[in-house]
Amino acid sequence: MDKKIRRIGVLTSGGDSPGMNAAVRAVARTAMYYGIECIGIRRGWQGLINSDFVILNQDMVRHILGRGGTILYTARSDEFMTEKGREKAVATCKMLGLDGVVAIGGDGTFKGALELSRLGVPVMGIPATIDNDIGCSNYTIGFDSACNTAIDCIDKLRDTMQSHERCSVVEVMGRHAGFLALYVGIAVGATSVLVPEAELNFERDVVERIQNARLSGQTHFMVVVAEGVGSAIDIGNRIHESLGLDPRVTVLGHIQRGGAPTGRDRETATRMGYYAVKAFAEGRTGSVICTREGGIVETPIEEALAMTKHLQMDRYAILEAISASGHLAN
Ligand code: F6P
């Protein structure tokens, strides 16, 4: 790409995550720094189809660094999945004179980015999802905030579970991945953590762990279930049938997607936004900005989509050793 970049668009797409606003701000401010105009495309890819935009000047991105949600709104667009929809999106890019688009979101967003780049629109991607399930990047914007929100909720649950000497079953988000459940489970010292990456053996993974915890003197039990495993209500029922306990089930749900981004998410989002625009300004395009081994790397979108990331099973082993060995360790 040897043409001077004059104007870019930025959009947020898919499920929102805390820190998306920080990324939008960084994209807009870095663009200003390079003398590039920045247009905010509202409601993700659908906004590109509908020519739904707002000019991002200094005022628009002031005071949004620490705000949850996304000022650009977000959506999952079925129309963009069609050839006709994408043609309309390309027409909007031409009409607005966009020399590039920064797309902030998860896998679905990057699939859209790939399609658009194949139609000649330069695109850069920024990974943002509370699921942390983007193969090309060690970290995705929003994961830390969602972990902290879930930890805060579970700490509160623990107070009442302790008072009543109960068993609590908590379902956390993560779609098909167990990153959120595992990190949260370790941080709250859960009795058991169920993730979709490990085949469930109910007797070993739940019953024996609760029994061990009881034998070690524990009178309340915390079971964290990733939504990808299935319903926490079913797990609660099975605990009742197997152990005679009367568990309380809490589905944390969308609360995990809200709230102010943590320092880690603000900092990562700001770095990613900066590098996405810097790449455009230096003539590079067609990549996802990723964190790897502490640094930032650009991974071509197609390659990024083909990459997978595995749950760190060593962390699962740590959890087993520390939280699940109960009286055996004493
Ligand atoms: O991808 C983020 C996420 O919050 C997942 O953890 C969850 O499965 C999904 O989005 C929920 O999507 P929606 O907001 O459409 O209900």
For residue range 73-88, what is the model confidence (pLDDT) as tens digits?
A: 999 999 999 999 999 9
Pairing of strands 7-12, 37-41: parallel
The residue ranges of DSSP E strands in 83-232, in sequence order, are 100-105, 123-127, 167-172, 192-194, 221-226
Contact 256, 144 (CB under 8 A): no
In tens, the pLDDT along 154-194 reads 999 999 999 999 999 999 999 999 999 999 999 999 999 99
What pLDDT is attached to residue 172?
Answer: 98
Nearest CA to ligand 1 atom 14: 15
Contact 210, 246 (CB under 8 A): no
Res 327 pLDDT > 80: no
Query: What values do phi and psi take at 26, rounded to 5?
Result: -65, -40
Strands of the 100-105 sheet, one edge to the other: 53-55, 37-41, 7-12, 100-105, 123-127, 287-292, 295-300
Instruction: Specify whether 131 is catalytic.
Output: yes
Distance of CA 125 to the CA centre of its chain: 14
Distance between CA 242 and CA 311 in Å, rounded? Answer: 29
What's the CA-to-centroid distance between 36 and ligand 1, angstroms? 33
Q: Among residues 16, 52, 99, 131, which one is catalytic?
A: 131
Q: How confident is the model at residue 24 (pLDDT cuts 50, 70, 90)?
A: very high
What's the CA-to-centroid distance between 108 and ligand 1, angstroms? 12
What average pLDDT does this structure show over 205-223? 95
Both tokens of 18, joined, read: 């805390």
The pTM for the full model equals 0.96
Ligand 1 atom at minimal distance to the Cα of residue 76:
15
Classify 249 as helix, strand or coil: strand
User: Domains (ranges, CATH) in the chain?
Assistant: 7-142+261-292 (3.40.50.450), 145-257+312-324 (3.40.50.460)
In testing the pocket of ligand 1, which one of 131, 134, 254 has its CB within 8 Å of the most ligand atoms? 131
What average pLDDT does this structure show over 248-267? 98
